[in-house]
Structure 1
Amino acid sequence: MELEAKIKEDMKSFGCNCPKKIAMAYHLYINLVDEKLMYDTEYCYNKDIDTLYVVARPNKNERLNIYVPVPTDSDVDVSYIGRLQENLCTVETGSSITLAFFESDFTIVMYTFTKGLALRQSAVLSNQLKMKLERRSFINSELKKNRRDILNDALNGGAVEDDDCEIVG
């Protein structure tokens, strides 16, 4: 318990006075260090958005990831995630942020959010793509159905049945 008290006191000295945030950040830190075995794991505090978070590397040569503890009973929307990314993401960490959702029993479920994902396709483009995939599927099914005939024709030189073709000798 001595280590736990020291870490929690250290988190409090950053400026965070919320016991719930400190407890979640502590459990997230311990989870990443002891269970996930991450590298360069550190807890941090951003006073502008009053957020305790943890940075860690999944592997020695990967970039730092940002992990933010969030209780499951809190409202999380796109603007909240955007605010976290704006205030926490750096060149070293990239544009992704992982929210570690905490249940009341300290069960953790993590989701990663990346800034700058592509917008949804228009209905016209979506329909064109669907038609293209349907045509490709039809052609593939016809090729499968006629595979034996196509292979025989290829092996035997094939026969040209088109009247418009002229054999040049």
Structure 2
Amino acid sequence: MEKLRAEHISRTFDGQNGPVLALDNVSFSVEEGEFVVIVGPSGCGKSSLLNILGGLDEATEGNVYVAGEKISGPGKDRGMVFQGYSLFPWLTVQKNVEFGLKMSGIPQKERTETALKYINLVGLSGFESALPDQLSGGMKQRAAIARTLANQPEILLMDEPFGALDAQTRI
């Protein structure tokens, strides 16, 4: 069953010397349960495509569909792990992981249980009370991954999520 479809996605940005074409008529579909990796050199449009798929940016042309429905912005069905850590610096690791759950109205007890489950899953047990500035780059990225996973999105979009992780953690 088709989960995600991109149809004729193009994205143009204003550059110093005129328009810059980042994506040109990109089309593909992803079936439920499929794992897809988009690779290419720096600046080729991978992040732009992910931002469009996540509903954070609009395509200049084309459309994105999730389960047959055209998207018009971010949705709970899609979770994003960004290239940067995107953690709230004033919240602890646990509170960062709980944040989306809290916004969804999940009761505190369930938020705590879910957050601790995903904190453990990414290997950050013992750092629940740490603030982001007390963590290494790899630990911050793992906290961001835990936060996204805790919301259990149907589609997980990750922009270079393992770049800050050491080789052992990547495995």
TM-score bin (small chain): under 0.3
Higher helix share: 1
TM-score of the superposed pair, with normalisation by structure 1: 0.24
User: Relative contact order: is structure 1 or structure 2 higher (C-alpha 8 Å, sep ≥ 6)?
Assistant: 2
TM-score of the superposed pair, with normalisation by structure 2: 0.24
Higher strand share: 2
